[in-house]
Amino acid sequence: MSELTVGDVVAQRTVHLTRESLVRYAGASGDYNPIHYRDDVATRVGLPGVLAHGMLTMGLAVETIVPWLGDSGRILEYGVRFTRPVVVDAEAGADVEVVATVGALDEQTLRIDLTVSSAATTVLGKAQVRVRR
């Protein structure tokens, strides 16, 4: 890690979400809000369709860097702004793309900036992870 520079891509991946993914996450998290599995409810409240849970998207994003880090215990701080929803189509699902780049570094820590998008739209803003070197 001593040879890293600002702008280096350290990890990237695409995660495919399905409605089954949302049901599994709802079971694990206890978040059974029907906007995450019922089209009629999502439409009735003005949403473009069934949405992935925000915390699911946030978790998938940070998990992208864990293999590169080698130890998730090196994560010191993580924060995001939820800017756009991830709409999960009943048949096609949705892809969430994550690119992790070095945003800043010093002798003890790194700031990793996550660019998180779905359907060519950024879905998490200011997604930043501070990690111990």
43 vs 48: CA distance, rounded Å? 6
Residue 28 lies in a domain: no
Q: What is the pLDDT of residues 17-52, one digit of tens each?
A: 999 999 999 999 999 999 999 999 999 999 999 999
Residue 75 lies in a domain: yes
Q: Contact 51/85 with Cβ under 8 angstroms?
A: yes
User: What is residue 39's three-state secondary structure?
Assistant: helix
Q: Contact 106/80 with Cβ under 8 angstroms?
A: no
Q: Show the tokens assigned to 84.
A: 């756009």
Domain coverage including residue 78: 9-16+53-132
Q: What is the pLDDT of residues 83-128, one digit of tens each?
A: 999 999 999 999 999 999 999 999 999 999 999 999 999 999 999 9
14 vs 41: CA distance, rounded Å? 28
Split into its structural domains, the chain has a count of 1
Residue 68 lies in a domain: yes
- What per-residue confidence (pLDDT) applies to 1? 60
What CATH number is associated with residue 114? 3.10.129.10
Residue 77 lies in a domain: yes
Residue 37 lies in a domain: no
Q: What is the pTM of this model?
A: 0.94
Residue 109 lies in a domain: yes
Residue 32 lies in a domain: no
Residue 110 lies in a domain: yes
